[in-house]
A and B are shown apart, each in its own frame.
Chain A
Amino acid sequence: MSAVAAEYSASEMMIVAAARELAGQRVCFVGVGLPNIAVNLARRTVAPDLELVYEAGVFGAQPARLPLSIGDPTIVTGATAVTSMFELFGYYLQGGLIDVGFLGAAQIDRSANLNSTVIGDYATPRTRLPGSGGACEIAQNAKSIFVIMRQSPRSFVERLDFRTSVGTRVRVVVTDLAIFHLADGELQLDSLHPGVTLDQVRSSMGWQPRVAESLTETPAPTVDELRLIREELDPGGVYTK
């Protein structure tokens, strides 16, 4: 058991928690930002054989720098395969080869359905969000879905303003406060991050969550995990501060 780090940010806790959940997984559809760091951390720790797939059309990417965009040239150089998007979505995703897909969203409901389309009415939105991108088909075709998002009553809502993707294949939701897993179609609070109380989690969401009988504490990031994040994966602290 390696030493536990004294200080870390909420983003670092989210990355570490998501990375540990990737143990034993083989093929992962990656997004930019926190998921990208989590996946690369997993590859250096619990899942050395993890293959990185990017929706831009790359299988087996080995990014040499932290990409700002999903289509950065660093995901191409040194990859196993570069495909058209038709092949990537058609053969790899719909063909059933993706074990894990990472998704984020502006809103999530108790069944882990996600909204990344609009806040407010669709025709006259208060906030126009990016929309589906590949999320809609990733949610339906990857074998399991990981969600990383910050928790607040505005993001964890009783009712979505728009359902962009379905929650049925969501396995885990990692927030800045806790870890939820989908159990019988409903998100269940399974683990609180160190220093977080149950009340704090409850007051940061728009419904009363089902709580696991064996509610545990998320192990804090280890010195080793933090060193990898800070020295190798996000040395500029772009996503993790």
Chain B
Amino acid sequence: MRDAISQLVHDGDTVAIEGFTHLISFAAGHEIIRQRKRDLTLCRLTPDLVYDQMIAAGVARKLVFSWLGNPGVGSLHAVRRWTEGTEPRLKLEEYSHFGMVARYTAGAMNLPFFPLHSYSDTDLPVANPLIRPVESPYGDGPIYAVPPLKPNVTIVHAQRADAAGDTQVWGLLGCQKEAAFAAERVIVVVEELVDESVIRADPNRTIVPGLVVDAVVVEPFGAHPSYAQGYYDRDNAFYLDWEAISRDEASLQAWLDEYVYGVAGRHEYLEKLGRDRMLALRPTSAPSGSVDYGEYR
């Protein structure tokens, strides 16, 4: 992870650590904090705790997003401290969920914009002038459009990949695929490194081919306190605890000192949290039925 972040993430980059509730690479976010990257533009539909932590650590100058909160709990207090009042320290560029998904999609497809049925008669196009109306060339009237988003780096967490970066995901897919195809550089972080034959045995499950991947990092529990379907549950207790930790700037910084700056990497972070806490997050089994692709010679 250290090498992947130091070689592929540069100060001033536009970075997307995607994953909708599921498969959020906290391991990569923490490494970016430890390497004291600066002036990043962070993109995510739901900034979640990972960006609250990164913004509190001072890595970002701008946030591009669509929903800013601690899901099911409340606010992202660091982001609020950086954006409320008369002298905001963080620039915001705000869309809706489908607007963000459409931006990655346009980025991945090399389209100049993406039209969507949203934003009409709202204040969002006023707040963000990059949301613009276009006239349908087929006479259907105006529709709002969003510009492509092409991150310098996209980081996705996944259940498994092979050494070439062929990556498979199951459970919520978010817009990992779109964000990866839209990016100049892609880092994949996985629970397990598997043989190429495992990938080839189930090609429908591949969301990103190694063709667009620059680095594969193996980091079990690398999404904690987010989750990996079938591997471990979301650590909801931590999301609830973050409310108290992050309300106060000093306690948030103390948390970063202990759990991010104070550890060399993910392994030490997990040791600090304790094996029992991780094991308690393991779900019981619910395997998919297998399908038969057939042999055609």
Contact = CB atoms under 8 A, between A and B. Distances in A.
B175 A86 contact: yes
Given A133-B96, A137-B97, A140-B120, A85 B127 contact: no
Interface in A56-111: 56-58, 67-73, 76-78, 82-86, 89-90, 93-94
Secondary structure of the B side of the interface? Answer: loop
A94 to B, nearest CB: 5
Contacts of B22: 56, 71, 73
Q: Which of A33, A83, A134 has the most CB of B within 10 A?
A: A134
Interface string B82-108: 011111100000111111011001000
Interface string B267-290: 000000000000000010010000
Interface stretch (A117-125, A178-186, A203-211): A117-125
Interface string A137-163: 100110000000000000000000011
Interface string B60-101: 000001111101110100011001111110000011111101
Interface in A39-64: 55-58
Contacts of B80: 127-128
Contact of B123 (A83, A137, A163): A163
Nearest to B100: A85
B21 A127 contact: no
Interface string A172-192: 000000000000000000000
A166 interface: yes
A132 B66 contact: yes
A127 B69 CA distance: 13
A240 interface: no
B251 interface: no
B96 A132 contact: yes
A86 B101 contact: yes
Interface residues of A, number: 50
B175 A132 contact: no
A146 to B, nearest CB: 19
B134 interface: no
B20 A56 contact: yes
Secondary structure of the A side of the interface? Answer: loop
Contacts of B173: 57, 82-85
A201 interface: no
Contact of B71 (A70, A83, A127): A70
A130 B67 contact: yes
Q: Interface size bucket, B side?
A: 35 or more
Nearest to A137: B118
Given A73-B227, A82-B171, A82-B172, A56 B118 contact: no
Given A56-B20, A89-B97, A117-B127, A165 B283 contact: no
A239 B105 CA distance: 36
A135 B94 CA distance: 13
Nearest to B105: A86
A132 B95 contact: yes
A126 B84 contact: yes
Contact of A136 (B119, B177, B283): B119
18 contacts: A71-B174, A76-B229, A84-B173, A84-B177, A85-B45, A85-B97, A85-B98, A85-B101, A94-B116, A122-B123, A124-B85, A128-B84, A133-B97, A135-B96, A136-B124, A137-B97, A137-B99, A164-B124
Which 4 residue pairs spanning A and B have beta carbons closest together?
A: A71-B21, A133-B67, A69-B71, A137-B118
Interface of B: 20-22, 45-46, 65-69, 71-73, 75, 79-80, 83-88, 94-99, 101-102, 105, 116-124, 126-127, 170-175, 177-178, 227, 229, 233-234, 236, 239, 283, 286
Interface of A: 32-33, 55-58, 67-73, 76-78, 82-86, 89-90, 93-94, 117, 122-137, 140-141, 162-166, 168
Given A128-B83, A137-B118, 5 more contacts: A57-B20, A71-B174, A72-B234, A86-B102, A126-B84
